[in-house]
Structure 1
């Protein structure tokens, strides 16, 4: 499964001592992932290959209470692609687990 979307970068505020940044997968695309994905890892995570700009990496997306998945954004990716808090990024996700 391959999904593409644009989303705003946001910071997880539960821990002020760490910089955890994410982009939310739109709800309708999250529902499509949930319907087609039967294998989930810890915390309900789904393994993906993420692409933003020229950066490609493997990670997991995680479900939130509102039903949307979130993609964690590594510092190395944010720095390499030059984006930060409140920026809008174009994301491509390929689900790795079948």
Structure 2
């Protein structure tokens, strides 16, 4: 399954701080429909993420009935991204 959406980068300060983009409701619903077939536990869903010219393997994290995409530091540096930036995210779900 291929999905493309725009989202804003936000920062979570928890015990392990990280940057994320929230998957919109419609795309989260599409992922939820196949998640049971591809999750490897804890609701994590394997994906290939593409932002700009950067691509990497990751997992969507379940949150508040939807999913969030973790954005690695090297991607933020390579693509010159900051908290609050709205970006296009391309996902290949189950990759």
Do both proteins adopt the same fold according to a TM-score greater than 0.5, normalized to the shorter chain? yes
In proportion to residue count, which structure has more strand? Answer: 2
Q: Calculate the TM-score normalised by the size of structure 1.
A: 0.89
Q: CA deviation at 1:13?
A: 2.5
Q: CA deviation at 1:5?
A: 0.3
Report runs of 4+ in structure 1 exceeding 6 Å deviation: none
Q: What is residue 53 of structure 1 aligned with on the other side?
A: 52
Unaligned regions of 5+ residues in structure 2, if any? none
Find the aligned partners of 2:82 and 2:42 in 1 and give their Cα distance: 26
| Secondary structure of the structure 2 residue equivalent to 1:8 | strand
Asked whether the 8 Å contact 1:53–1:81 carries over to 2, the reply is: yes
Unaligned regions of 5+ residues in structure 1, if any? none
Aligned length: 94
Q: What is residue 62 of structure 1 aligned with on the other side?
A: 61
| Secondary structure of the structure 2 residue equivalent to 1:34 | helix
Q: For each residue in 1:26-82, what CA deviation from the matched residue of structure 2 results, as whole angstroms up to 9, or x when unmatched? A: 011111101123221232110000000000000000111x21100000000000000
Asked whether the 8 Å contact 2:48–2:91 carries over to 1, the reply is: yes
Asked whether the 8 Å contact 1:31–1:67 carries over to 2, the reply is: no
Find the aligned partners of 1:80 and 1:63 in 2 and give their Cα distance: 26
Find the aligned partners of 2:17 and 2:39 in 1 and give their Cα distance: 26
- Asked if residue 28 in structure 1 is aligned to residue 26 in structure 2, the reply is yes
Find the aligned partners of 2:52 and 2:22 in 1 and give their Cα distance: 17
User: RMSD of aligned C-alpha atoms?
Assistant: 1.3
